[in-house]
Structure 1
Amino acid sequence: MSDTAGDSLADRLVAAHFPRSDGVLRVGGLDLRDLAEAHGTPLFVYDAELLRRAYRDLADAVSGFAVVDYSVKANPAPEVIRVFRDEGAGAEIASGAEFAASWAAGVEPRHILFAGPGKSDFDIEATVAGGIGEIHLENSEEMRRVAEAAGRHGVVQRVAIRINPGPDAQGGAMRMGGKPSPFGFDEEELDAIVDAVEAEPRLHLSGIHLFAGTQGLVAATLLSQWAYGLSLAARVADRIARPLDTIDLGGGLGIPYFSTDTQLDLAAIRDGIPALIARVKSDPRLREARIMLEPGRFLAGPAGLYVARVRAVKVSRGSRFVITDGGMHHHLAASGNLGQVVKRDYPVAVVVDRGGPRSPCAVVGPLCTPLDMLARATPLPDLAAGDLIAVLQSGAYGLTASPTGFLSHPRPVELLVDGGAAREIGGALRTD
């Protein structure tokens, strides 16, 4: 089996985001070979202008209906957070460390919200003390602990109820609701939870949080989920006899990783927005609420590359193996060991395309485990020691979502390319 140049997902992504010059991938106008020589490999490279483009495209598509915040878990480097902050985004966090990173990036605490099913006492204390804008409650024990922390600090803490919605709201590659879940309160018990929060004098119920799924690539499904979220918000507003301040419709917007994936159609999203706007404007329970989306993967994923250098190429029983200095310890998701049941290949491209036929090969890392495989049958040309490969769609859930301490290999450098220059970022994550 071979692949013709120009017709793969990797080729389309390269053409859209990292156009070649003389066969060489470029990031923000810079030669990727030069970056690898200057900073070593393995290497994560993020293009700030692509981050901005993704944010602006989505914000434009949902303009008039929702604002766009950034889900920090996707890539918590403060320099990446700052790019989105400068575009007007708030931050959605999942730990006290992400709260500190967002604050360091210049996001005002009142524009930060905190979600996650197992918040620690330290994290609750730090975020309440730091004036966080909203904490999203996920269980009754957490409700009690947030109320106690608010009492210690003499504040009334703004909170939202995260709702585990029923099956009518489901969609996306990874469903987060409609079944038993550690995330949020089941929709069936919503009235009782609303009453319990309202009874806490140190809590102010300001909103709801709905997250029905992730890696959603179908516009109609997302629009339907958002409409369902509005219905739940209206129901809660009726229960508390006042309008809500915030309606968090979650993230869940996907990007294509595999050959069978389609790009999320933002034009279709834009076409569906007027009906949602009309619904909000016609309902006094909703019209004053700050409605937000908080994607991470959609904003950060396409802007990143994971670059590795070939150490050896071998053939074993008829199969070609390209052995690199990068692997699952830096990019667990690309190895298929971060939530994939059926392991499929992320888009992979050669950094220097010299032409010639492509044939399937396995791209593996330096770790002594068969799990360390970045691609299983990806079509690549002939390669030799010293060549460079790049895993695309690597700006989200890369380094910090990976077992970086496994086998004690050094951590890779992260670079942000902006304005024709590259600088190292994420230094707090490095130990080498």
Structure 2
Amino acid sequence: MNRIVDWILSRKEHARQPLCAYIYDLEHLREHVSRRVRTLPASCRLYYAVKANSEERIVKELAPIVNGFEAASLGEIRKIRAAAPEIPVIFGGPGKTDEEIEGAIALRVSLIHAESEHEVRRVAHIAARKGMTVPILLRVNLRGPLPDATLAMAGRPTQFGIDERQIPDVIRLAQNLESVKVEGFHFHSLSNNLNAEKHVQLIGYYCERAAGWAKEFGLDLSWLNAGGGIGVNYAELQRQFDWDLFIEKLGPMLERKCPAGVTVLFECGRYLTASCGYYAAEVLDLKRNHDKHYAIVRGGTHQFRLPASWQHSHPFQVIPVGRWDYPFARKEANDCEITVVGQLCTPKDVLAKDAFVARIRIGDVVLFQYAGAYGWAISHHDFLSHPHPEHIFLEHAPGKNNYDGSQRSLDAAAYRSFT
């Protein structure tokens, strides 16, 4: 956090334009993800779901660390291949076009996740035309019951996967098609699960269902994709998913329930990148309307859509900035609840609601934490045609403070400590 604040304060010393930037701590990203890969059981692999943050620098940083990438479009596959030509890629998502399937095959994806009977037939048709046999996983929409989570993709009617009751028929279909081979199942049933023990139980349920189908249909399974779904606690940043407990319970469970010779894939996105990213937005104005305090910042939900998308108040801290260039008094608010909003012409442009602040002034910077996933990537960037934020990638090495952003470098002497 200190290096993030240092960069903000240095930038405010040297620039007159209001600050608006995504800032990424690359050292934290590498350490966080490396530990997750390193501590997984030997029968598991960790893939990065590029949809969470497809910035070129993020993909390149993760390529030497993760076991592979998960893509949900041909565009994402191309981004991955530009950064890592040989790394394993799995391709999922509903509504794949023929162009995407053909492109995925041409770009050597390892597995295609088939979302429907029709998609199985189309993959087989395209593969047959090319004289190939394409490995597929059948994505299953389980009937449940499943644990509670912020988003559910299974256990209820959704556009994702094949209804569990239809799986036997689709297996029989695939077994009669020479150009596809069912190598396993894809279970991505929920998103943002914060309970480590329940997540292990969920994966155990996946193993039981896969083992049952393998036995019934004589399938030689290689892969079980357990999806992502590991969550980030935006409400209480100090109480995150208990990875150590998850690993402690996961290994023994897999030994009991996972079919022999099956590799378990995890395709995490949010959990890998959220904590390395920050969204910094300068306060442009403070006002009180109908007895409520508002801070209007440079930027908004067109750049950081996650709070509006998830309908939550995103955690932030106020970074005091000393610089004040105007000849009149600087407005401030003290010991009050404040709602942080952006520049859009809609009352829905809210980033944080009724959050207590001890002090906030025009010209200070509001720093939103855990903004490294589903922030810029899902935002409607050009609504109202405001300028895009800067994207700053902070690098750190022993005896060195620097950053890589907008082709500029910052001398270490320009850094100041924030206390």
Q: TM-score range by the shorter chain?
A: 0.7 to 0.9
* Aligned residue in 1 for 2:260: 287
Specify every segment of 5 or more residues in structure 1 that has no aligned partner in the other structure, as ranges: 1-17, 20-25, 427-432
* Aligned residue in 2 for 1:320: 293
1:350 aligns with 2:318: yes
* Aligned residue in 2 for 1:33: 9
- Deviation string for 1:191-239 (max 9, x for gaps)? 1111111211111111210012110000111001110111122123224
Q: 2:145 is paired with a residue of what secondary structure?
A: helix
* Aligned residue in 2 for 1:9: none
Residues 396 and 260 from structure 1, CA distance in 2 versus in 1: closer, same or farther, beyond 3 angstroms? closer
Residues 370 and 91 from structure 1, CA distance in 2 versus in 1: closer, same or farther, beyond 3 angstroms? same
Write out aligned runs for 1:116-135 (5 A): 116-135=93-112
| Aligned residue pair count | 391
One-letter amino acid of the structure 2 residue matched with residue 75 of structure 1: N
- Deviation string for 1:350-391 (max 9, x for gaps)? 12389x964210111111110111111112233233211111
Residues 344 and 169 from structure 1, CA distance in 2 versus in 1: closer, same or farther, beyond 3 angstroms? closer
Q: Percent identity?
A: 27
1:42 aligns with 2:15: no
Residue 35 (structure 1) shift? 4.6
Greater C-alpha radius of gyration: 2
Write out aligned runs for 1:152-191 (5 A): 152-191=129-168
One-letter amino acid of the structure 1 residue matched with residue 10 of structure 2: D
Residue 154 (structure 1) shift? 2.5
Residues 425 and 121 from structure 1, CA distance in 2 versus in 1: closer, same or farther, beyond 3 angstroms? farther
Q: Under a length normalisation based on structure 1, what TM-score does the superposition of the two structures give?
A: 0.85
Q: 1:86 is paired with a residue of what secondary structure?
A: coil
- Deviation string for 1:33-74 (max 9, x for gaps)? 235656973211111122122213323443334221101000
Residues 35 and 249 from structure 1, CA distance in 2 versus in 1: closer, same or farther, beyond 3 angstroms? farther
Aligned partners of 2:381 and 2:79: how far apart in 1? 19
Check conservation: 1:304, 1:396, Cα contact below 8 A: yes
Aligned partners of 2:58 and 2:224: how far apart in 1? 25
Check conservation: 1:324, 1:363, Cα contact below 8 A: yes
Q: 1:252 is paired with a residue of what secondary structure?
A: coil
1:373 aligns with 2:350: yes
1:359 aligns with 2:340: no
Residue 425 (structure 1) shift? 7.6
Residue 320 (structure 1) shift? 1.2
Write out aligned runs for 1:86-97 (5 A): 86-97=64-75
Check conservation: 2:37, 2:66, Cα contact below 8 A: no
Q: 1:64 is paired with a residue of what secondary structure?
A: coil
* Aligned residue in 2 for 1:70: 48
* Aligned residue in 1 for 2:405: 424
Check conservation: 1:321, 1:364, Cα contact below 8 A: yes
Which of 104, 107, 118 does residue 82 from structure 2 map onto? Answer: 104
- Deviation string for 1:241-262 (max 9, x for gaps)? 2431111000000011114994
Residues 357 and 192 from structure 1, CA distance in 2 versus in 1: closer, same or farther, beyond 3 angstroms? same
Aligned partners of 2:381 and 2:374: how far apart in 1? 13
Aligned partners of 2:86 and 2:80: how far apart in 1? 8
Residues 218 and 96 from structure 1, CA distance in 2 versus in 1: closer, same or farther, beyond 3 angstroms? same
Residues 191 and 269 from structure 1, CA distance in 2 versus in 1: closer, same or farther, beyond 3 angstroms? same
* Aligned residue in 2 for 1:79: 57
Specify every segment of 5 or more residues in structure 2 that has no aligned partner in the other structure, as ranges: 323-332, 408-419
Check conservation: 1:169, 1:228, Cα contact below 8 A: no
Mean Cα displacement is larger for which, 244-253 or 136-145? 136-145
Q: 1:361 is paired with a residue of what secondary structure?
A: strand
Q: 1:200 is paired with a residue of what secondary structure?
A: coil
Q: Under a length normalisation based on structure 2, what TM-score does the superposition of the two structures give?
A: 0.87
* Aligned residue in 2 for 1:247: 224
Mean Cα displacement is larger for which, 294-303 or 121-130? 121-130
One-letter amino acid of the structure 2 residue matched with residue 345 of structure 1: S
Check conservation: 2:342, 2:351, Cα contact below 8 A: yes
Residue 406 (structure 1) shift? 1.1
- Deviation string for 1:265-315 (max 9, x for gaps)? 1122122023224225xx6xx222221111100000011000111111111
Write out aligned runs for 1:167-316 (5 A): 167-259=144-236, 262-279=239-256, 286-316=259-289
Residues 40 and 313 from structure 1, CA distance in 2 versus in 1: closer, same or farther, beyond 3 angstroms? closer
Runs of 4+ in 1 over 6 A off after TM superposition: none
Mean Cα displacement is larger for which, 37-46 or 91-100? 37-46
Check conservation: 1:249, 1:291, Cα contact below 8 A: yes
Check conservation: 1:329, 1:403, Cα contact below 8 A: yes
Check conservation: 2:316, 2:369, Cα contact below 8 A: yes
Check conservation: 1:217, 1:262, Cα contact below 8 A: no
Which of 313, 326, 329 does residue 302 from structure 2 map onto? Answer: 329
Check conservation: 2:33, 2:66, Cα contact below 8 A: no
Aligned partners of 2:368 and 2:20: how far apart in 1? 11
